[in-house]
Amino acid sequence: MEFLDIFLLGVGIFTLFVAAKRLDMTDAAESFKNNLDGIAVEGIREESVSFRLRKDPLFLTPWKRGRFSSLNERPILLLIAFILVLAVIFEVFILAMTYTKFGVLISYVVIAVAFHNGPDDLNIDEFYLRKITRKDPTTLNGHDVLFIQRAASSFKSWSRMQGVFGLSFMLSIFLPIGFLFIGFLILILLGFLYLGYKYSADRAIFR
């Protein structure tokens, strides 16, 4: 096993581990929902616990200046920082072009981060599912059941796909370099098509 294989394996294990934890969370949410089955969907939807919870702001901390905002006040430091960033990007690009596994690693990290962060609607689903299962079931109604079912179904499909990619990352290190490159291209194509669909990339490009 080469040195970079350790990092490729690490990215795969991390991606698969996060997916497994998320699937456990969705299973717990579905079990929680099953205890509420049979409750009539009645009353005002906007007054349900789920509706109010999903409307809560996710980030309550006040905005603060970034750590490197002081560079804006020192043009020469900003210029030096810009040159260093360009040098690092150029070096990474050269390594990726000359060493296949380094390029594979960079791409895997990008996909893993995209799956870990997720688009806004799925982040809200995750936040909601973690919170709603801690609520007193007696305070919930039929509208909450529908909210839980919709969020759990959406987030479970995302987590399963994340697990598939994590497992693929792990297994790819056992392929010969030629097959690794072919598998890498397939994963990149499928990954960016799926992530582009979930992140609604078409809105940014065509609208």
Range 121-128 contact pairs with CB under 8 angstroms and sequence separation of 24 or more = 121/154, 122/154, 122/155, 122/158, 122/198, 123/58, 124/54, 124/58, 125/151, 125/154, 125/155, 126/22, 126/25, 126/155, 127/58, 128/50, 128/53, 128/54
Map tokens 């030096």 to a residue. 80
Selection from 57-66, 139-148, 183-192 with the highest mean pLDDT = 139-148
Average pLDDT over residues 150-179: 89
**How far is 21 from 102, CA to CA, in rounded Å?**
28
CA distance 137 to 72: 52
Global confidence as pTM = 0.75
| Model confidence pLDDT, tens digit, residues 74-91 | 556 656 766 776 666 666
Contacts for 173 with CB less than 8 Å, ≥ 6 apart: 1, 5, 8, 9, 12, 180
Taking the C-alpha atoms of residue 134 and residue 129, their distance in angstroms, rounded to an integer, is 9
CA dist., res. 190 & res. 165, Å (int): 10
- The pLDDT-based confidence of 138 (bands split at 50, 70, 90) is confident
**Model confidence pLDDT, tens digit, residues 103-122:** 788 888 888 998 998 888 88
> What does the DSSP assignment read for 33-65?
HHTTTT----S-GGGSHHHHHHTS-S--SPP--
**Residue pair 16/168 in contact by the 8 Å Cβ criterion:** no
Per-residue model confidence (pLDDT) at position 192: 83
